[in-house]
Amino acid sequence: MTRLVLTSDTHLPRRARDLPEPLWAAIDAADVVVHAGDWVSVDLLDALEARATRLVGVYGNNDGPPLRARLPEVARVELAGVRVAVVHETGAAAGRERRCAAAYPDVDVLIFGHSHIPWDTTATRADGSTLRLLNPGSPTDRRRQPTFTWMTAAAVDGRLDAVVLHHLQPRAPKRSGV
């Protein structure tokens, strides 16, 4: 079994100074950390490379030349027999499954980011094979979502199991005065 942490759209240090502690704890326990782009800071890439057992990442639309020099636009890995692709953008939600199934015919799971909206769907290809699409949302910039999110999963004998979307409630604003 290979334990995975999936995250994206961290936007450090613009949206937060650091990743939430529960996410760091999950990273410490994981065999593989997947980041689907929009890091913004090279410092986070350095920290994840130092702390993660294995890191798979791509750059996003908000990542500048230093990150683009170190990360691919699309990453492809096999994890415990599961063929995985990672990309930041997949286009509009409408038609996403069909487009991605055609664009990634040789993978079992596509992990993506960009929207900050958690996503977990499956597309069936003409040949009967399936593609699971996962977006972990964002642990630091929830936008219109009620919580900050990331995912954990397990790759086991060629299948993806135990996919869990983790929620972290936003902190209440600090009150000034008395």
Domain contains 90: yes
For residue range 76-91, what is the model confidence (pLDDT) as tens digits? 999 999 999 999 999 9
Total structural domains within the chain: 1
Question: Which parts of the chain have pLDDT scores under 50?
Answer: 178
What pLDDT, on the 0 to 100 scale, is given for residue 15?
78
CATH number reported for the structural domain that contains residue 11 in this entry: 3.60.21.10
CA 121 vs. chain centroid, Å, equals 15
- Radius of gyration over every alpha carbon of the chain, rounded to an integer in angstroms: 16
Domain contains 178: no
For residue range 34-62, what is the model confidence (pLDDT) as tens digits? 999 999 999 999 999 999 999 999 999 99
Domain contains 176: no
Peptide bond into 13 cis (omega under 30): yes
Query: CB neighbours of 59 closer than 8 A, spacing ≥ 6?
Result: 37, 39, 67, 68, 71, 72, 73, 88
Domain that holds residue 109: 2-168
- pTM score, whole prediction: 0.94
Token pair belonging to 78: 């096999």
What pLDDT, on the 0 to 100 scale, is given for residue 167?
97
Closest CA to 72 of 48, 54, 47, 55: 55
